[in-house]
Amino acid sequence: MFSFRRQAILIVLIVLLDQVTKSWAVSALADGRVIHVIGSLQFSLGFNSGFAFSQGQGLGPLIGVFAIIAVVLLFRAVRKATTQLSAAALCAIVAGAIGNIADRIFREDGLLHGRVVDFIDLQWFPVFNVADSSITVGACVLIAAMLMESRSGKGVDNNHES
């Protein structure tokens, strides 16, 4: 199984990548600077005090509390994961949540009043960051892992009668 040490390393690496890229964005994209990368992909600085796709602006403290509770519950799920793939997917989700919680705690006014830094701009999709990507990819991989587990019978209680 995916050892606790490997889970911790994966989570820490994703959180570090998220925080380093956000720090870069805050310094390199200040004053409205936009860096065009390729096609519609560009880097432009934005801040989000709400949740997904800038919904719930101003609800940062409440969102932060819910996110902290979610991280605790998800970390428990990581420990109970039945496959390495589902454990890795849950680690990615946990790491993304921690990265965005860190912004709410340590940026600006702090104590869950900080705004999340967003900078990856496709111009046809809401601006996002590495943590958001980690949550999204982790969720997609988790769904795939659950589908594979249900087909193989692994992680499924075959003694349960419906």
Angstrom CA distances, 75 to 70, 148, 152, stand at 8, 21, 24
> Which tokens is 148 given?
């594979």
Sign for the CA dihedral angle at 154, 79, 111, 130 comes to negative
Per DSSP, the three-state class of 114 is coil
Task: Establish whether 109 is a catalytic residue.
Answer: no
- Identified catalytic residue from 109, 118, 121, 157: 118
Diameter over CA atoms, the chain: 62
Task: Establish whether 118 is a catalytic residue.
Answer: yes
- Identified catalytic residue from 18, 103, 121, 132: 132
User: Which of the residues are catalytic?
Assistant: 118, 132
